[in-house]
């Protein structure tokens, strides 16, 4: 564990950690053939789609065991009020001696939503009664993103086109991208905990990009107002794996975390985790992306939560659970501090200082990306770079990032495909 993490934990009062119990299940448990769902290589249990999306969500279906005979599984959507989504083929067949399949889910493009709607993919029935879904997959459907430009912004964009030779319209609106996240460091086994043992994850996504309020006549500046770098769902998954779905199984046993989560209505589920993926919203934006002479500047120097100045990709987070906790920061709660049943009173704000915070900035991108903070051998740091190419119709970003429980950097490569010239 990094020095910052250690110092942060040492600031907390001493506690007695509770241990979890596991059950090997016996022979009867082994007979159950659990189904795990994943999207884009992630098993976080949630993904996001815009209501006007034309490409499907491809859900990979993986059984624990090969089936002995051809088996059908009937999937259905719950919470699909207004028929906003549809399954292409809700009944899939898995051949004998196989254990994988895919389900495709499309938007019906009704464009009727005003607020985000959560829809769950579940198993309605199966020809094999031993097949059981480990947990449903939640699809969060967002209303169609509008990106209207003011007259002043249009004038700036036309000026860039005439004076700088930059057709910024090609980089605005809804822009598709391909994303690769690599987990290069082996000794700490980050990839095992955060990426199911895989060295990388690749997926396609899209961002909504507009002209930043900080743009000037001689300085084009962009703002990614939705799903910056295509990473919104991925970062939400990583945040949960560092907290409410802690891969080290410590955060959700921590008495301060238990008390804080209880204050906003959460208790651990059967698998000893706080299930927030389907009920909470997590949104990111990224401002001050400056276009200049063939290059893109997108990192900034900021003060982190420990008071140190670091170079980072300055994502701004809007996390509903953290908002709820902050709103109750002065509320007094009781904590079973030592696991002996003796309750001690703290304010929620004090619990945040003892490690119960859900501030994304405490868990995501917490070390500098401007230099190699970890100095692992071999190095897992890459220099942040970005560029654009109107001839080939692309603009791209490369940068490292780390997390609270990581032992080094993960690396992100994002390539956007520009919109056609108008």
Higher pLDDT, 44 or 311: 311
Mean pLDDT, the chain, rounded, equals 89
Domains of the chain plus CATH, in order, are 26-142 (2.60.40.2030), 147-417 (no CATH)
Confidence of residue 108 (pLDDT cuts 50, 70, 90): very high
Tokens 């290589």 belong to which residue?
41
Q: Extract the tokens encoding 18.
A: 């509770």
Pairing label, strands 131-133, 33-39: parallel
Q: Out of 147-161, 176-190, 301-315, which region has the weakest mean confidence (pLDDT)?
A: 176-190
Neighbours of 139 (CB within 10 A): 25
pLDDT at position 196, please?
Answer: 84
* Phi–psi pair at 193, nearest 5 degrees: -80, -40
Angle, vertex CA 227, rays to CA 150 and CA 242, nearest 5: 145
Q: What is the mean predicted confidence (pLDDT) over 281-292?
A: 96
Confidence of residue 146 (pLDDT cuts 50, 70, 90): confident
pLDDT at position 31, please?
Answer: 84
Q: What is the mean predicted confidence (pLDDT) over 236-248?
A: 89
Pairing label, strands 309-312, 300-303: antiparallel
Q: What is the mean predicted confidence (pLDDT) over 90-112?
A: 94
Q: What is the mean predicted confidence (pLDDT) over 348-372?
A: 95
Cis amide bond preceding 416, omega within 30: no
Q: Give the highest mean pLDDT range of 251-255, 266-270, 336-340, 365-369.
A: 365-369
Phi-psi group of 258: left, alpha or beta (phi > 0 → left; psi -120 to 50 → alpha; rest → beta): alpha
pLDDT at position 193, please?
Answer: 81
Q: What is the dihedral of CA 186, 372, 246, 32, to 10 degrees?
A: -30
Q: For the chain, give the percent of residues with pLDDT over 70.
A: 91
Helix/strand/coil (H, E, C) string of the chain? CCHHHHHHHHCCCCCCCCCCCCCCCHHHHHHCEEEEEEECCECCCEEEEECCCCCCEEEEEEECCCCCCCEEEEEEEECCCCCCEEECCCEEEECCCCCEEEEEEEECCCCCCCCCEEEEEEEEEECCCCEEECCCEEEEEECCCCCCCCHHHHHHHHHHHHHHCCCHHHHCEEEEEEEEEECCCCCCCHHHHHCCCCCEEEEEEEEEEEECCCCECCECEEEEEECHHHCHHHHHHHHHHHCCCCCCCCHHHCHHHHHHHHHCCCCCCCCCCCCCCCCCCEEEEEEEEEEECCEEECCEEEECCCCCEEEECCCEEEEHHHHHHHHCCCCEEEEECCCCCCEEEEEHHHHHHHHHCCCHHHCECCCCCCCCCCCCCCCCCCCCEEEEECCCCEEEEEEEECECCCCCCEEEEEEEECCCCC
pLDDT at position 8, please?
Answer: 47
Q: Extract the tokens encoding 263.
A: 């204050």
pLDDT at position 17, please?
Answer: 37
Of 146, 158, 134, nearest to 52 (Cα)? 146
Report whether 322 contacts 284 (CB < 8 A): no
Q: What is the mean predicted confidence (pLDDT) over 305-314?
A: 93
Q: Out of 20-34, 114-128, 132-146, 323-337, which region has the weakest mean confidence (pLDDT)?
A: 20-34
Tokens 């980089």 belong to which residue?
171
pLDDT at position 11, please?
Answer: 44
pLDDT at position 347, please?
Answer: 97
pLDDT tens digits, 311-359: 999 999 999 999 999 999 999 999 998 888 899 999 999 999 998 999 9
Please check the confidence at residue 377 and state whether its pLDDT lies above 70: yes
Q: What is the rounded distance in angstroms from the CA atom of residue 91 to the CA atom of residue 410?
A: 38
pLDDT at position 188, please?
Answer: 55
Report whether 315 contacts 365 (CB < 8 A): yes
pTM of the model: 0.83
Q: Extract the tokens encoding 373.
A: 């903070």
């Amino acid at each position: 564990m990094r020095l910052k993490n250690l110092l942060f934990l040492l600031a907390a009062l001493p506690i007695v950690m509770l241990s979890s119990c596991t059950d090997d299940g016996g022979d009867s448990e082994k007979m159950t053939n659990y189904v795990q769902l994943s999207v884009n290589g992630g098993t976080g249990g949630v993904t996001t789609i815009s209501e006007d999306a034309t490409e499907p969500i491809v859900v990979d279906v993986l059984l624990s065991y090969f089936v002995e005979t051809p088996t059908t599984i009937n999937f259905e959507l719950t919470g699909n009020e207004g028929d906003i989504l549809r399954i292409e083929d809700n009944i899939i067949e898995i051949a004998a001696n196989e254990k994988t399949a895919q389900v495709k889910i499309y938007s019906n493009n009704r464009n009727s939503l005003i607020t985000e709607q959560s829809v769950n993919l579940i198993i309605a029935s199966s020809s094999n009664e031993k097949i059981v879904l480990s947990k449903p997959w939640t699809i969060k459907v967002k209303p169609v993103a509008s990106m209207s430009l003011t007259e002043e912004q249009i004038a700036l964009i036309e000026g860039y086109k005439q004076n700088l030779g930059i057709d910024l319209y090609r980089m605005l609106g809804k822009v598709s991208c391909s994303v690769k996240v690599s987990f290069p460091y082996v000794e700490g086994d980050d990839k095992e905990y955060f990426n199911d043992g895989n060295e990388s994850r690749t997926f396609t996504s899209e961002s909504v990009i507009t002209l930043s309020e900080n743009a000037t006549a001689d300085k084009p500046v962009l703002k990614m107002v939705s799903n910056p770098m295509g990473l919104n769902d991925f970062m939400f998954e990583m945040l949960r794996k560092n907290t409410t779905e802690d891969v080290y199984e410590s955060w959700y046993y921590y008495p301060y975390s238990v008390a804080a989560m209880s204050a906003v209505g959460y208790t651990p589920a059967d698998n000893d985790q706080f299930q927030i993926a389907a009920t909470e919203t997590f949104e990111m934006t990224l401002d001050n992306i400056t276009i200049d002479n063939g290059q893109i500047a997108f990192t900034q120097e900021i003060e982190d939560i420990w008071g140190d100045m670091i170079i980072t990709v300055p994502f701004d987070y809007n996390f509903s659970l953290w908002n709820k906790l902050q709103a109750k920061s002065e509320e007094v709660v009781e904590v079973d501090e030592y696991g002996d049943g003796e309750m001690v009173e703290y304010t929620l704000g004090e619990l945040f200082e003892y490690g119960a915070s859900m501030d994304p900035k405490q868990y995501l991108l917490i070390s500098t990306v401007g230099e190699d903070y970890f100095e692992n051998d071999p190095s897992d740091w890459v220099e942040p770079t970005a560029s654009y190419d109107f001839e080939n119709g692309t603009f791209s970003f490369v940068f490292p990032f780390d997390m609270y429980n990581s032992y080094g950097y993960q690396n992100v490569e994002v390539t956007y495909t520009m919109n056609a010239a108008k």
